[in-house]
Every structure is written in C-alpha cells, then in structure tokens.
Amino acid sequence: AGGPWEECFEAAVQLALRAGQIIRKALSEEKRVSTKTSAADLVTETDHLVEGLIISELQKRFPSHRFIAEEAAAAGAKCVLTPSPTWIVDPIDGTCNFVHRFPTVAVSIGFAVNQECQHQFSSVETKRSLYPCNSTKLEFGVIYHCTEERLYTGRRGRGAFCNGQRLRVSGETDISKALVLTEIGPKRDPATLKLFLSNMERLLHAKAHGVRVIGSSTLALCHLASGAADAYYQFGLHCWDLAAATVIIREAGGIVMDTSGGPLDLMSCRVVAAGTREMATLIAQALQTINYGRDDEK
C-alpha cells in the first residue's frame, strides 16, 4: 500500500528525473547568467525553465496544493507553510556550479502536509502566527544528482534510499574524527566573511578531519544521509535547500536541528545536521550565528 501521498511522491520522482535530463544537457551549453541578492547569488534561464516545468506539471495534477519555489520567491512570492499540502522546490541547487560546469548540481523537491487538519484552511489568507509551522510536517523529499544520476528519496516512516539502496548516517560522535560539510552562503560583506571563516576555524581547531564546501547544500546533506560525512552546518540557506534533505537525513537515522541547538525551523535560513545528536550539539555549540533573516519575512 502506497499511503495517501503515493501519487504525489511518484510525481515528484518523475519530475525530478525529467528536470535532471534538461539540466544535464544544459550544463555544457552557453548560459545567460544573472545575479539576485549578491554578486555570488546566480540564476540562469535553466533555473526558470525547470522551475516552470515542475510547478506547472504539479499544479495541473494537484490544483489545490500550494508551492514554495526558489525563483518564484526571488520574484517576490511569499514563503509560508500553511496546513495545505505544500511543495517546496529548488529547480537547480548548485547554480554557481552549474554556471561553471562543475558537475555537482541537483533538483530538490520536498512536500509538507499538516497531519491533523489537511485542506481545512486552504483558501484562507495565511499567517505564520495563525498556522504555526510545527503542525505542518515534511512528508517526503526527492533530490536528484543530475550528473551522477543518483536519485535520493526519503519518506516519513519509510526510510531513505539512493537508487534503491537504503541510506544510513554515520554514528560518529567525536568532532576530532569528523568530516564536516558546509556552504558559504550568498553574503560576502567583510563582517559575514569573518564570521564564516572563524566558524570554520573553530571546527579545525577542534581537529575535525576536514571541512568541505561542494557548492550544493542539498547534495552535501545527501552525503551526510549516506554516511559519507559526519556533520553539516550552514547559515544563509533556504527552505528549498532544506525541505527534501531533512526528510532524507531523518529517515537515514540522522538529526537536523537549529544552530541554537533547538528544533529545526525550516524558515530560519540556518541549520546543523549530523549522524548523531551528540555531534550536532557539539557543532551547534561551536558556531557563532550569522544573521540571514527568515524566508517567511522577506
């Protein structure tokens, strides 16, 4: 039995594979590149094309559902989680890699649903204070590594897989034995860079085996889910970088939390994830906060 969201999950998988094909082909072609919030925050016509394809196909099939998507948000659409089923989409995660033909790019599709009161408020104007996020749960996540053709999936209560192989996080609890992943984030002003570098320095002082920046938050989080890294942290990512990956990591046995050590807030633009709670807590304690505001207040 597939469960109530089976059709949605299957649609996400099919669309991620279709989008991946388009991105793989476009990777080696000439691109028109524009900037968004900073000179390092890039977008191409392929980001728009792929987002348009995913959203229009899903809208056709699931007309009552809501959508949060990276390029729509960049154009001013609000990011709010309501009790209605909501798709959270990053058409190309790793756009900077994509622009440079660095082959670490992914499509990410997450799906969140209010477990208690589905559909009830779907047509009502939404506010975070009215419908707190914590009643809306992430149901599944699909992330497709476009060039290596690896499909990562996680479904609440049903495990996480990569091309059919079950995923398991590492059991490491000691920073001095950890491989840690992070991403730089879009802000490059001197104060932000100082904090970013000093956070990295703190982990290196704690004798982490290594700190890696691969240019795609979602694929870094998939490496964590696979046990290929022990921890991940970042300030300046978005709900579309986190939604699908959070389900995959949790279903692989891992922890996803706020950098304060408290529960994850999908809209807070920051995260710590690890194979174990001990590791996540140690990383959270080592970090200084970099303020990126909130996705639902932009």
Stretch of 18-26, 121-129, 157-165, 234-242 lying at the interface with ligand IPD (CB under 6 A): 234-242
- In eight-state DSSP terms, residue 106 is E
Q: Which is nearer to ligand IPD, 113 or 224 (CB)?
A: 224
Q: Report the interhelical angle of 45-61 vs 6-27 (nearest 10°).
A: 160
Q: Please report whether residue 185 would count as binding ligand IPD according to CB under 6 A.
A: yes
- In eight-state DSSP terms, residue 36 is S
Q: Least CB distance from residue 60 to ligand IPD, whole Å?
A: 24
With beta carbons less than 8 A apart as the criterion, state whether 291 and 265 touch: no
Active site annotation includes 241: yes
Catalytic residue, candidates 47, 51, 70, 172: 70
Active site annotation includes 93: yes
The angle subtended at Cα 109 by Cα 108 and Cα 111, nearest 5°, is 145
Q: Please report whether residue 238 would count as binding ligand IPD according to CB under 6 A.
A: yes
Active site annotation includes 92: yes
Torsion of CA 238, 242, 243, 249, to 10 degrees: -170
Torsion of CA 141, 109, 260, 206, to 10 degrees: 80
Catalytic residue, candidates 139, 241, 251, 265: 241
Site string for ligand IPD, 84-113 (x = CB under 6 A): ------x-xxxx------------------
Q: Least CB distance from residue 91 to ligand IPD, whole Å?
A: 8
Q: Which is nearer to ligand IPD, 12 or 113 (CB)?
A: 12
CA distance 45 to 52: 11
Q: Which of residues 53-82 bind ligand IPD (CB under 6 A)?
A: 70
Q: Least CB distance from residue 125 to ligand IPD, whole Å?
A: 28
CA distance 285 to 273: 13
Which residue of 55, 184, 248, 287 would you call a contact of ligand IPD, by CB under 6 A? 184
For residue 287, the SS3 value is coil
Q: Which of residues 187-216 bind ligand IPD (CB under 6 A)?
A: 215-216
Catalytic residue, candidates 46, 95, 126, 182: 95
The DSSP code sequence of 163-187 is: TTEEP-------GGG-EEEE---S-
Using CB atoms, what's the residue nearest to ligand IPD?
183
CA distance 84 to 82: 5
Beta-strand pair 231-235/255-257: unpaired
Catalytic site positions: 70, 90, 92-93, 95, 241
Q: List interacting residues with ligand IPD (CB under 6 A).
A: 70, 90, 92-95, 183-185, 215-217, 236-238, 241
